[in-house]
Amino acid sequence: MLNFLNQLLNKYINNTVYHEEFGIYFVKKQVERIRNMKIEIYSNDHNPPHFHVKSNDKTINAVFSLKDCSLLKGTIRGKDKKRIEAFFKDQKIQIIMQKMWKESK
């Protein structure tokens, strides 16, 4: 029972984010973790299709296009940007992320 509750709490605590401007919760899906960076797709997010990259220490907060992995906005160091681009080059990853984006609508 305790394990079940732990999984349930983990799902809801780690898969939502409060947006201060809108005052509502968005469910997010974590695509991958690369070093200290989390790659996430938020449900019902605005177009164009994109993904978020954030670090635990809050030094990275960037948004990348799902079309070509171009940096749309935010801050990220050059070496971390190259890691994200290398991750995104995998065709299977691109297909999975596009599917996740479509399912989040």
Q: Is residue 7 part of a domain?
A: no
CA angle, 90 as apex, 60 and 16 as ends, to 5°?
45
Q: Is residue 13 part of a domain?
A: no
Q: Is residue 1 part of a domain?
A: no
- Supply the range of the domain harboring residue 50: 28-103
Pair 72, 64: CB distance under 8 Å: yes
Specify the pLDDT at position 29.
79
Q: Is residue 19 part of a domain?
A: no
What does the alpha-carbon distance between residue 79 and residue 92 come to, in Å, rounded to a whole number? 23
**Whether the predicted model's global pTM rises above the 0.75 cut:** no
Specify the pLDDT at position 27.
61
**Cβ partners under 8 Å of residue 94, min gap 6:** 66, 88
Specify the pLDDT at position 64.
97
For residue 90, the tally of other CB atoms under 10 A from its CB is: 11
Q: Is residue 39 part of a domain?
A: yes
Domain count of the chain?
1
Q: Is residue 2 part of a domain?
A: no
The low-confidence residues of the chain, meaning pLDDT below 50, are 24
> Which element (helix H / strand E) includes 75?
strand 71-75
